[in-house]
Amino acid sequence: IEAATRAQAEAADPTQSAWVEANAGSGKTKVLIDRVARLLLRRPDGRPGAKPDSILCITYTKAAANEMLSRLYGRLGDWAVADDETLRKTLAQLEDRSPGSYKDEDFQEARRLFARALETPGGLRIETIHAFCARILRRFPLEAGVSPGFVAIEEDEANALWRAVLSDQLEQAATAQPEAMSILADATGGLGIAAALEALKFQRQTLATFKRIASTDTDRYDRIRSASGAGDQTPDEILHSAMIDALPEAELRRAASDLARLDKPGKADTKLLSALTAMLETPDPQVRYARYMDAIAGSKWDFPSGSNPYTAKAGESVADLFSRNLKSDLPEGLEITRMKSVQAALKAATLAERSIALMQIGLPMVDAYATAKRLRGALDFDDLIVRTRALLTQSSAAAWVLYKLDGGLTHLLLDEAQDTSPAQWALINALVEEFQSGLGRDRAAEPRTQFVVGDSKQSIYSFQGADQQEFEAERQAFLMREEVVATAENRKVNLPEMAMSFRSTPHVLRFVDEVRARVPLADAATEPLPPADADLRPHAPRRANQAGRVELWPLEQPTGQEGEDSAWSTPTDHIPADAPRRRLARNIAKEIKSILDRGETVWREQIDRSWVQSPARADDFLILVRSRNDLFDALIDSLKQEGVPVAGADRLRLLDNLGVQDCLNLIRFALQPGDDLTLAEILRGPFCGLVDDDVDLFPLAYDRPPGVTLWARLAQSTDPHFQLAKTFCQELLAHADQSAFEFLTHALTKRDATGLSGWDKLIQRLGEPVRDPVQALISGALSHDMSEAKSLQAYLAKVESQDTVLKRELGDADGAVRVMTVHGAKGLQAPIVILPDTTGATKPVSDALFFTPDGTPLFSPSTRTDAAITSELRDAANAAAERESRRLLYVALTRASDRLIIAGAGIGNRSLGYAKSSWYRWCLIAMRALCGEDASDELPDERLGFGADRMTAQRLVEEAPPRSKPPAWLAQPATLPEPPLRLAAPSRLTEDRAAVLQPFGPERTEALRRGRLIHGLLQTLPDIASADREAAAQRFLDRASDITPADIDEMVAVTMSTLAHPDFAEIFAPGGRSEAAIVGTLPKGQLVNGRVDRLIIRPDQVLIVDYKTDRPAPRSADLVDTAYWVQMAAYRAVFQSLYPDRAVRCALLYTDGPRLIELSGAEMSESLNRVESRV
C-alpha cells in the first residue's frame, strides 16, 4: 500500500514531468485529477497555483473527458464548502504535507478554485485531441488555411460525403481511365473496386506524404515498380515470353509422350499429362499458364515440397523437368525452377500494374473528397489532426502560433498515451518543445511540465492509428529530455510505476498474471514461453482480503446434428438452434438468471470506503465479445428469453433496427398511401397491432377490384375492428406536409382512443432498447430540418442513403446486463465479466493496401497474388495483429473486479474445438496451472474453478425496495390549458372578403399594386408642403418598376384630388398620424393587431379613417362590404376602451370619386357581435 501511495504521489507531483506506466485498474484517472488539482492549488512556497486555462489535459474519448471534468469539479466544489479542519486533512493527504503547515490563505485559495474554474473562458481544458485541434484551428484559421467558420463533421456525415464522391469519381473514371478500371475490376472481381478505394480514405495522409515525396506521376509509378520488384515487362509480356517464346515445347512433348506410354499412371501422372496436352493445344498464354500451374504447382500454385509425385517409370524426361525431390541425386526439375521464377516476376509485375491503376483512380478521388469538404467548409476528424499538426510544425506562421500558445500553456497531461497515433504525437511534441524552450522564462519560478500516462499492454487501437513502436520511441525521447533537466536539478527522472490494482480481487489478478506468464504479450510466438524482455511484473491487489473467483467452462462442441431442425431452406447466415454458439448463449443467460435468483453476492464499496457483500444485480454483469457477430446477437436474444434485463447492442446500424424501420414506414406511407406493402407492414407493426393475417389483413386485402389500394379499402371500412388503425393512418396523411421532426414527434406522442402513444406501442412490442435508435432517428430529423429543406422525402432519402451507426454509451448499465465488444468496454469494469468468444484464432489481416517503409503504396487484394514484398508486409501485419489480440485479451480479463468466467463454442474444423493461438487455450493452460495440474491444453470435462466458492447473499446491504407503479394519471392525456388570446388583424376577423376582382389573375395583381402605391402616397404626402406634393408624388412613383407613365399620371391625379378636396381638410390637417399601429383587446377577449391609415385625436373625439382604392366606390354606407364594417368596428372598439370619455368616429375614404363614407357606431357594434363568436 505504501509503495502504491508513493507511486501515485510521485505521479501527481506538479513540479516535475512524469511518464507513468499504469496497470489496468491502478487508479490513473484519480492520479490525473490529483495532479490537476495540485497544479491549481497554492504552492507550498506561497506562490499562486497555475491558471486554469494554462493546463491542457488530453483524453482519448469524450466520455473520459466528461468523467474527469465531473470528478474534478466535484472535488473543487467540495473544497468550496468544506470547513477548515476537513480541508486541512484533505489537502494534507493530497499534497503529502504536514497538516500544520497550512495557513488561512491556503484554505481561502482552495475555496476560490471552484469559482476560478467556472469563470475560466471555455472552462477547464480537459478534452479530446480532436476537440483541442478544433479549438486551435478556430483560433488561427487564416494561419491554418481553413475557413474561419468551418464545421467539424461527424463520422457518418464524412462517410456519406465520401460515398457521394466515390460514386461520381467512378463514373468519371469509367470514361477517363478505362484501362485502370479494367485492371482493378480484374483484381477485385468488379464489385470490390469501391472497397479497394475505401482503403484510401483511411490512408489519405500517408498518400499525401507519398505525393509530396514523388511529385509527378512518372516518379510515383517508378517508385511503385521499384518497390514491387518489377522489371520493364508488363504481365502480358511476361506471360507471352514464358509460355510462348521460352517454353521448352519439344521437351514438354517428349515428357507427355512418356507419360502417355505408362501402363498404370498415377493421379499426378494423369493430371500432368492432361495439363500438358491441353496447354500445348491452346495458343493463349494466360490459359496455358493457368493449366500448367494447376498441374505442376498445385491448386494453390504454391509448389508444395516433398517427394516426387510422378511414377519413376515415366522416365528422365519427366523427372528432369518436374521433379520436386530435394535429394542430391535428383535436383529440382528445370521447369519447376523456371516457373517459380516466372511466377515471381509475374506477381511483381501484376502488383505494380494494380498499384499504379489504384493510384490513377484513387489519388484524384482523394483530391475530389478534399475539394468537396472545402466547398462545404467542413473538416473531418483526420483533417483536424493533420491541419493542426501542419499549423504547428510546417506552416510559415508556426513559430508565431506556438509563441501565442506558449503564453497560455504551461502544463500538458496526456491520458491513454499508448493509443496516441504518430500524427497526434507530432503535434503534441510541437507544443511540448515550445513551452519547454521557455523563451527566456525563469523555469524555477514558472515550472512547465509534461505528464504522460499509459500502458503498452493495453494498446488495442491500431485500426485508429495507434502504434506501439511509436509509443516506445516517444518514451525514450521523453527520457532523453528529462535526463538533462533531472541532472541539472540533481534528481532522478520521474518514472512512477503504478502496479497496484484497486479494481480486482486477488484471485482475478492471480489469474491475469498467470495468463500473462503463459502468453507473451510482446511476442508473436505461438508457444507459451515468455520472451526475456516481457513485462511480467505481477499485479498487486489493493483488495487483498476479498475473495473472488475465476471459472473456465468446457466448450460447447458441435453435435453433428446442427442445421437439421427445419426442412425449410434458411438464410446462409442463419444459426441453427442447436449450434454451439446458440447453446452457449442460452447457457450463459441461464447462468446469469440462476445467479440472480440464488442471490449470489458481489462486493460493493460503501461511502466510507468499506466493502460489503450484497446480491448481484443485472447491471453487475458485463459480457465481452471480440466482434459484433452472430454470438453477440444470440446472447442478447437468449437474455431476453430468460427475462433478464439487457441493455442491447452498444453499436447499432440505424437501418437494422425494427423500430426505426417501423417509423420510416410511417413516412413512406404518408408520401405514398398507395404502397400496399408499406401499409401492410404498418398494420402488422406495433403502431396498429393487426398481427393475425387471417383475421386482420385478409378481410382488407381479399377480393379488391383492380386499382383499389389497401388504403382505399381501409379508409372505406366501417368495421370497428379497424377504426384505430384507420384513424392512425388518417392522422399520418393529415401531417404529411410537416417537417420530418414534427411528423415523427406527432406520430410517437399522439395518444389514441385507448390512451396509448406511439412510444408506448413501440416499447410494448420491441422493448426498452428501441428507445435509443428511434430517438436518434428523431434527433437526426431535427438536425436535418435545421440545415436542409423541411421535407419528409428528403429526410427519408438521406436516412436510406447513409449507413448511420448509433453509438451507445453503456458505462451506466441502468439495471441491465451489458453485452459489448472488448474495444467498446475499454475503461469500463463490472463485478462479473463473462468472455464467451474465445476459441477462434486471430483473423489474418484483410488489408489490400500496404505501404513500404519509405511510404510507397502497394495494392495486393489476396495472398495468392502477393509478391515477395507484399507477402513480407502481410506477414508483419499478421504478426502485429496477433500481438494486439493478446493485448486485447489482457484488457478483457482486467475488466472484472470480482469474478471472471471464460467460456467458448467449439470450432467444428478443429480437433480440440479451439485454435492453437486462441484465448481459450491460453486461459486453459493458466487455469490448469493454478489448479495444481499440469499446464496442458487438454479440454476439461467439467468446469474448472479458481478462488472462493460461490456464496449466497448475506443481506449485509438491504435490497432496494421494488419500484412503485406510476400513478394512473401519468398515462392520461394532460388537460389542455385555456388557449391563449389569438392575435389577428382587424381586416381578417371575418371570413367574408370583398370580392371585387377574381382572387387570381393580372387584374387583381394590378389592383393590389395600385392600392399599395396610393396608400404610400397618402401616408407620406400630408406631411409635405402643398406646393411640393405633386413633385414628391412623381419621384415616389418613378422608383416603382413596371409602371407606365399613364398609370403614374392617373395615380398622382387621384392622390392630389383626394388631398385637395375641401371635405377632407380635417383628415389631412396637421396633427394627424399616418399608419398608426394599434394592439388591443376586443370585448370578448380577442387580441387584434393592425395599422390605422389615418388617425386624428382631438380633445373631444377620435377620428379613424381607412383608405380604400376599390373601383367603383360604393355610393352609401349600406353598400360597403361586410369585411370593412368588421374591420372598422374592431378599430372603434379598441380606441373606445382607450378613450372611454370621447366619441370615436370611423370613416372610409374612397379615392374613387373621391368619396368619404362615415359608418354608424350602432351598426359597427352589431357587425362585430355577429363575427366575434366565429373568431
Residues making up the chain, counted from first to last: 1175
824: nearest Cα among 892, 776, 881? 892
Question: What distance in Å separates the CA atoms of residue 523 and residue 518, rounded to the nearest whole number?
Answer: 11
389: nearest Cα among 126, 145, 207? 145
Nearby residues of 70 by Cβ (< 8 Å), 6 or more positions away:
none
pLDDT the model gives residue 436: 66
Task: With a cut of 50, say whether residue 613 has pLDDT above it.
Answer: yes
| 908 in Cβ contact with 558 (< 8 Å) | yes
pLDDT the model gives residue 529: 43
Question: What distance in Å separates the CA atoms of residue 603 and residue 610, rounded to the nearest whole number?
Answer: 10
Task: With a cut of 90, say whether residue 960 has pLDDT above it.
Answer: no
Distances from the Cα of 700 to the Cα of 339, 682, 716, 749, angstroms: 71, 14, 10, 27
pLDDT the model gives residue 520: 59
Quickly count: other Cβ atoms within 10 Å of residue 1079's Cβ.
10
pLDDT the model gives residue 768: 78
| Concatenated DSSP letters of 329-358 | TSPPPHHHHHHHHHHHHHHHHHHHHHHHHH
Winning range, highest mean pLDDT, from 186-190, 436-440, 931-935, 1031-1035? 1031-1035
| Concatenated DSSP letters of 909-959 | TSSSSS-TTSHHHHHHHHHHHHTTS----PPPSS-EEEESPP-B---SSPP
Question: What distance in Å separates the CA atoms of residue 596 and residue 616, rounded to the nearest whole number?
Answer: 6
pLDDT the model gives residue 626: 93
422: nearest Cα among 454, 377, 466? 466
pLDDT band for position 730 (cuts 50, 70, 90): very high
Distances from the Cα of 137 to the Cα of 143, 391, 475, 866, angstroms: 9, 8, 28, 42
Cell of 804: 448511420
| Torsion region of 932: left, alpha or beta (phi above 0 gives left; psi -120 to 50 gives alpha) | left
* 330-359 CB burial, b ≥16 within 10 A, e <16: eeebebbeebeebbebbbbbbbbbbbbbbb
Determine whether domain 651-807 maps to CATH 3.30.560.10: no
166-194: average pLDDT: 87
Query: Bigger pLDDT: 1003 or 449?
Result: 449
Domain 2-65+124-150+382-501 shares a fold with domain 510-560+575-648+814-850+872-947: yes
Radius of gyration of the chain (CA): 41
pLDDT the model gives residue 269: 86
pLDDT the model gives residue 572: 47
Question: What distance in Å separates the CA atoms of residue 855 and residue 849, rounded to the nearest whole number?
Answer: 11
Determine whether domain 983-1008+1061-1172 maps to CATH 3.40.440.10: no
Distances from the Cα of 281 to the Cα of 250, 288, 834, angstroms: 13, 9, 62
| 144 in Cβ contact with 388 (< 8 Å) | yes
18-22, strands of its sheet edge to edge: 125-128, 55-59, 411-414, 449-454, 18-22, 497-498
| 330 in Cβ contact with 174 (< 8 Å) | no
Question: What distance in Å separates the CA atoms of residue 1040 and residue 1047, rounded to the nearest whole number?
Answer: 11
Cα 760 to chain center, whole Å?
Answer: 27
Task: With a cut of 80, say whether residue 490 has pLDDT above it.
Answer: no
Distances from the Cα of 841 to the Cα of 450, 538, 882, 918, angstroms: 40, 27, 9, 5
969-993: average pLDDT: 56
Task: With a cut of 90, say whether residue 744 has pLDDT above it.
Answer: yes
Handedness of CA 271, 275, 278, 281 (dihedral sign): negative
Torsion angle of the four alpha carbons 479, 480, 484, 485, in this order, in degrees rounded to the nearest 10? -40
Task: With a cut of 90, say whether residue 927 has pLDDT above it.
Answer: yes
203: nearest Cα among 860, 857, 870, 805? 857
Share above pLDDT 90 across residues of the chain, in percent, rounded to a whole number: 41
Cα 474 to chain center, whole Å?
Answer: 30
Task: Locate the domains of the chain by residue range.
Answer: 2-65+124-150+382-501, 510-560+575-648+814-850+872-947, 651-807, 983-1008+1061-1172
pLDDT the model gives residue 822: 94
pLDDT the model gives residue 335: 87
| 80 in Cβ contact with 40 (< 8 Å) | no
Check residue 574 and report its DSSP letter.
Answer: P
| Torsion region of 1126: left, alpha or beta (phi above 0 gives left; psi -120 to 50 gives alpha) | alpha
Share above pLDDT 70 across residues of the chain, in percent, rounded to a whole number: 88
pLDDT the model gives residue 1174: 60
Query: Bigger pLDDT: 973 or 276?
Result: 276
Task: With a cut of 70, say whether residue 265 has pLDDT above it.
Answer: yes
| Concatenated DSSP letters of 25-72 | TS-HHHHHHHHHHHHHSPPTTS-----GGGEEEEESSHHHHHHHHHHH
Winning range, highest mean pLDDT, from 432-446, 531-545, 826-840, 1009-1023? 826-840
Task: With a cut of 80, say whether residue 384 has pLDDT above it.
Answer: yes
Task: With a cut of 80, say whether residue 566 has pLDDT above it.
Answer: no
331-348: average pLDDT: 89
Query: Bigger pLDDT: 700 or 964?
Result: 700
pLDDT band for position 965 (cuts 50, 70, 90): low
Check residue 1111 and report its DSSP letter.
Answer: S
pLDDT band for position 201 (cuts 50, 70, 90): confident
64-84: average pLDDT: 91
Question: What distance in Å separates the CA atoms of residue 528 and residue 519, rounded to the nearest whole number?
Answer: 5
Task: With a cut of 50, say whether residue 602 has pLDDT above it.
Answer: yes
Architecture of domain 510-560+575-648+814-850+872-947: 3-Layer(aba) Sandwich (3.40)
Q: Picking from 325-339, 376-390, 616-630, which range would have the lowest pLDDT averaged per residue?
A: 325-339
| 903 in Cβ contact with 838 (< 8 Å) | yes
pLDDT the model gives residue 190: 56
Query: Bigger pLDDT: 1003 or 470?
Result: 470
Question: What distance in Å separates the CA atoms of residue 1055 and residue 1037, rounded to the nearest whole number?
Answer: 12
Q: Picking from 106-120, 505-519, 731-745, 1160-1174, which range would have the lowest pLDDT averaged per residue?
A: 1160-1174
pLDDT the model gives residue 862: 85
Quickly count: other Cβ atoms within 10 Å of residue 1153's Cβ.
16
Look at residue 540 and give its three-state secondary structure.
strand
Handedness of CA 1127, 1129, 1135, 1137 (dihedral sign): negative
Task: With a cut of 70, say whether residue 910 has pLDDT above it.
Answer: no
pLDDT in tens, 82-100: 999 999 999 998 888 888 8
Question: What distance in Å separates the CA atoms of residue 72 and residue 33, rounded to the nearest whole number?
Answer: 6
CATH superfamily of the 2-65+124-150+382-501 domain: P-loop containing nucleotide triphosphate hydrolases (3.40.50.300)
pLDDT the model gives residue 563: 52
273-288: average pLDDT: 90
pLDDT the model gives residue 358: 94
Q: Picking from 38-47, 377-386, 960-969, which range would have the lowest pLDDT averaged per residue?
A: 960-969
Task: With a cut of 80, say whether residue 312 has pLDDT above it.
Answer: no
Cα 1075 to chain center, whole Å?
Answer: 55
Task: With a cut of 50, say whether residue 683 has pLDDT above it.
Answer: yes
252-257: average pLDDT: 89
pLDDT the model gives residue 597: 93
pLDDT band for position 393 (cuts 50, 70, 90): confident
Handedness of CA 54, 59, 63, 64 (dihedral sign): negative
